[in-house]
Chains A and B, each alone.
Chain A
Amino acid sequence: MVRLEPRRQHSQAMVYLSPVLAILMTLVVGGIIFAFMGKNPFDALYTFFILPINNSYGISELFVKATPLVIIAVGLAMGFRANVWNIGAEGQLTMGAIFGGGLALYFHDSESVLLLPAMFVLGALGGAFWGAIPALLRTRFNANEILTSLMLTYVATLFLSFLVHGPWRNPEGFNFPESRPFPDAGLLPIIFEGSRVHLGTAVAVFVVIAGWLLLSKSVIGFQLRVVGKAPQAARHVGFRQKRMVWFTLLLGGALAGLAGLFEVSGPIGQLQPSISPGYGFTAIIVAFLGRLHPVGILFGGLIMALTYLGGELAQITLGLPNAVTGLFQGILLFFLLASDVLTKYRIRFGSIAAKGRTA
């Protein structure tokens, strides 16, 4: 018989091992699914996870995809640490793209070096604004931020769709639902020649370091952790939960907005109806995969970026549907949450005589 036995102290080793375990389990289950679909599981896994990064271009693409994931996930992790469940990063990303991108469209003739920094600011503000709505609803009316932030995502994407179909449509664009291309002054500089790796990737690394400092070295990061781990202790010492709700939703929104702006002023270069393959949602998985720790998130972001690349390649070379990407991401989150049980419990094999029925 197999049973779970509580550990006396949380296992630090398992905190780090459980993502590895989850990834292994995902590979096994993924292989089985490929086999059922009539593909050779080893070929398929190779195509999915190795082929995308066996050349330098592939690796640079990995950074491009990981950039928004990491930036958003660091912001979300702050909230998750404080039990603020912002599920609407996708919407905040979209609003950031609209605000920052809108500025680029308004100054579409500009050659000013100030345009790009101004777009950064506006992008962050747009995301923060979209995060402020659930914060207000939560602190004033006690509305659950999981629902409000999620629903606002759809508002944001439809708003973007309305803009690019209507008022912001490119007048020279043959009626395609797209905006004008951004002026050069509104495009992110490329860091590595010949790739698409842009300034945003450097910002992502900076965000990781700043996030780590904030979380583990600052008083406000300390407050976040106390509010999340022991709300009553937080109240006892006067760390106000409402302040943390505001802080994390504004910060998470701003970072998601910034990530959205980086997408439209980097790889995309204009506003389109769809600017993200679900980065805002995938970042939730990245945050947990990285143990809500900024440095862990850096690795988690790279792994999840790989599923995007692998999914695209599997579509092209194996003829698998794009849904396979989502499937892998889902399985990974599932196993991650499941294997987390092992940080608090250990598995024991063998039976015990007449295990008591619980009262």
Chain B
Amino acid sequence: MSLNETGEFVLPLPRPAAEQQDGLTGEDLARSRDRARVLAARARSSRWFLLWLLVGPGILAMLGENDGPSMISYAATGAAFGLGFFLPFIVVTFAMAIVCQEMCMRVGAVTHRGYGQLIIERYGKVWGWLAAGDLVFTNLVTLIAEFVAIRVGLAFFHLGAGVAALLGVVLVLLAQSGGRYWRWERVVLGLAVFNGLFLLSAVLVKPNTGHLTHAFLTFSPLPRGSFNEILLLLASTIGATVTPWMIFFQQSASADKGLTPNDLTQGRLDTVIGGVLAAVFGCGALVAGAALAGHGGASVDGLAGAGFPEALSRVDGGTAGALFALGLIEAGAVAILTISASTGYAIGECTGASSSFNRPLRDAASFYFVNVLVAVIAAAVILVPGVPLLSIALNANVLATVLLPVTLVFMVMLANDRQLMGRFANGPATNLAVAITVAVVAVCGAAYGIDSFLLQVHLIG
């Protein structure tokens, strides 16, 4: 075998008839080509090239979750409370996300199966379909919020909702047209790099480094405001870092990519790199939003109409606003690709249909169809006039937080299943960290849900 200039193995591919005879499918061949490159890199001890080949699912899950609603949520938090408690809190939530996502990667690499398939096989169809139902529902709401984010970003450049809807759907169609997981992953990774625009935007608003250092070291000043507003921002900040779709996505993508137990070190690095980048860029969005704290942007809802990019451009003269707008377009686009993929994986795994980017369209029509369908439905919603943009974006994250505990508990059960995982099962330290995460997520989500309801029905003032 030989490598061409792009690092791909040059191999003549077989006719479909031949593959049928041998029992080796096109998906197997595509994955085996990727694995052959990994094995060759490992044999040559090319550490960096090996890491380059194996990174992907972790970075995509983390940067995919630095999505439109998350960045709007961080910026809203910065605008409402300035630099303080929430800045280091973002770092803490990404530390929780790394613990959870490492489990997903490990389970996917050891079992070679996605989350939905494992739940159905180990715990039955009822739990599998409930998990998939939660995922499809929260994904649809989140996808609407992603299109909202693209719409807000494009509005800065005087482009309308129709362009946002078209852009999102065309991206989904283009990204999955390669018929290979590797190509899909690299296209989305290429787009995800631009999440760094939020950091540039933060640099341009010239934050006070003394305030930044003080916030990171002391978790203060503590937020002041109504209890319900703080709960909303706590829940949406958590929902901006750990969500059900990330769990489905990273496990399924790790299996689709072909990770094995030999790749766990690189898989962990992939997850940590993704978590660190996402935390830095997320903090960037909060810092940029904090520039509005003294410019009449203190109310979370007050910025819904003008949008953050326009408000930011009034602070620094235009560039920070433009970068923030481009960042929102990128964040929405990457999340549309990863979230629609997680929906396709989940439905395919629960129905038993083929669900792999390594399959051509004719062999996995339902997988590709679901990918496009959820994007089209979400795109259609944002074309409805008068949609409450910021409210949808913040509540999408809260809903994900509320539904997360069940998904996480099953993830922990799978990762502790010694029949499945053998010596790769969770250790006590991981279980303790995940237990704390589940408790924090459940308490924040429930507290916001109950408090908001009681306020709404005037049982508390």
Please say whether chains A and B are actual partners in one complex: no
